[in-house]
Structure 1
Amino acid sequence: MGLSVCVGALVDALEYDEEGAEFLRRDFALIAEEMAYMGLTPHAEPEFCEVWSADAMGYGGLHALCEVLGYAQAGQEVPRDKLLDGRETPMADAVMAEIWNLMEAGGGEAVPFAHLLLHSDSEGFYLPQDFDPPFFPVDPEGGEREISVGSAARLAMEVAALGGLLEIPDEMTVESEALMEALAAPRADGSLWQAQPIAAHTCVLLRDACALSMETGAAITFQ
């Protein structure tokens, strides 16, 4: 299964997929209603803006990046001799369990990396606002479907921290030749992103998506 990350999904759907546009409008209306209830400024998704999209490396790319986070949160070095591909994520699973416990305990304190770890890996949105924690409104007409809603501003901070850990150059993009070479042949003796190119690819993709979301005012959409 593949994962596409888009900024400006409503704009794209209005041009090419009328039914999809109505589905997105309903989701954004539910999200805005929930935000008003929470005391946040309701998000208004633009219908005219630049559209950007990129394919992630399946769901495994997100899982690999979360596993990198898991090693860091446990105070362990990210391995260089084992490629993290997202198939097995014991370190990320342990951190996620801790985060859910913190969320349930409450207390009002910010929960680290909640926007990366707790968001759905296959659908949902990141909004160009700064709020914490992520929230999950329920669609009463969609079989009690939960909608994952995170903050693009918070996600940007989270992936920036992971980008620093992975030693990712600021100028790198998902189309950079060096990243493509690392994906084809990971290197244990190079920078950490060269040893863990799957996680690095996802980190760069999310970094770019967050920047464009904040610039255009359009949500990041997982689809």
Structure 2
Amino acid sequence: MTLSISVALLHDQARNDPEGHDRHRRAFARLSRALRAENIRWEEPDTTALAVAHTFSGGIPYGYLTCLRRVFVLVGRGGPVSPAPRPDTEAWHRDLAAIDDETSLLASHLLCHADDAGYYIPVDFPDPLFLPPEAEVAGAGMVGSSQRLLAELSSMAPWLGTPASAESPGDDPVAPERSAWHQLRQACRASILGGHAIVFHRVGASFRRC
């Protein structure tokens, strides 16, 4: 499975997917109502006349997101940080346990978010939101801040040594982390510039772990 990441999703769907446009427009309305209950006022902007810098569309294997979360946790704990170990090894499971431990603190916008659904909104609030089930907000009601996600990504940049482009050599041991980092960073910048939500949604594809 592949995680699709979109900013200004309604803009694209208004032209290419009327049925999807209506479905997501209703979902955004539910999100806005639930946010108002948390004293946060935000609505997905109108979809017309958008600058290219205010839109983003990309996708990564779910495993890449896990690899990026691993780096965030290890950097936050003071390292050392190395390329991700092979799956199903003791080191890999130890790192997954560290991710779970940090996620349980309910403080990180990168960690406290569903892998395959949900939103980041361009409002700066300190901790991730956990909206109630009755709000029927995608991603189990977990909503992050685009500004805080961008700050968390910036904290990892020195270790990743991120190049100007998301393209990495085929033998780059941290290519999964770089790819996820670049796509999320571009999405955050578009979200903040245009006032649109970052939307995580699912696209069928073969699953690839980093």
Q: Which residue type is aligned with residue 173 of structure 1?
A: S
Within the candidate set 65, 69, 82, 1:66 is matched to 69
Q: Which residue type is aligned with residue 196 of structure 2?
A: A
Give structure 1 stretches of 5+ with no counterpart: 104-110, 187-194
Q: Do residues 75 (structure 1) and 78 (structure 2) align? A: yes
Question: In the alignment, is the contact (CA less than 8 A) between 2:120 and 2:144 conserved in 1?
Answer: yes
Q: Aligned residue for 2:128?
A: 134
Closer/same/farther in 2, CA of residues 140 and 4 from structure 1, 3 Å limit? same
Which structure has the higher relative contact order (CA within 8 Å, separation 6+)? 2
Closer/same/farther in 2, CA of residues 158 and 204 from structure 1, 3 Å limit? same
- The DSSP-based 3-state class of the residue aligned with 1:4 is strand
1: CA distance between counterparts of 2:122 and 2:130?
Answer: 16
Residue identity over aligned pairs, in percent, reads 27
Question: In the alignment, is the contact (CA less than 8 A) between 1:131 and 1:154 conserved in 2?
Answer: yes
Q: Do residues 207 (structure 1) and 210 (structure 2) align? A: no
Q: What are the residue-to-residue correspondences of 1:1-223 with 2, within 5 Å?
A: 1-48=1-48, 49=50, 50=52, 51-56=55-60, 58-80=61-83, 88=92, 90-100=94-104, 102-103=105-106, 111=107, 114-138=108-132, 140=134, 146-169=140-163, 172-174=164-166, 176=167, 179=168, 181=169, 184-186=170-172, 195-223=173-201
2: CA distance between counterparts of 1:185 and 1:214?
Answer: 33
1: CA distance between counterparts of 2:88 and 2:11?
Answer: 32
CA drift at 1:164: 2.1
Closer/same/farther in 2, CA of residues 215 and 146 from structure 1, 3 Å limit? same
Closer/same/farther in 2, CA of residues 152 and 127 from structure 1, 3 Å limit? same
TM-score by length of 2: 0.81
Q: Which residue type is aligned with residue 202 of structure 1?
A: A
- The DSSP-based 3-state class of the residue aligned with 1:115 is coil
2: CA distance between counterparts of 1:13 and 1:6?
Answer: 11
Closer/same/farther in 2, CA of residues 125 and 143 from structure 1, 3 Å limit? closer
Q: Which residue type is aligned with residue 101 of structure 2?
A: A
Aligned residues, how many? 195
CA drift at 1:139: 5.8
Give structure 2 stretches of 5+ with no counterpart: 202-210
Q: Which residue type is aligned with residue 185 of structure 1?
A: D
- The DSSP-based 3-state class of the residue aligned with 2:129 is coil
Closer/same/farther in 2, CA of residues 26 and 143 from structure 1, 3 Å limit? closer
TM-score by length of 1: 0.76
Question: In the alignment, is the contact (CA less than 8 A) between 2:131 and 2:137 conserved in 1?
Answer: no
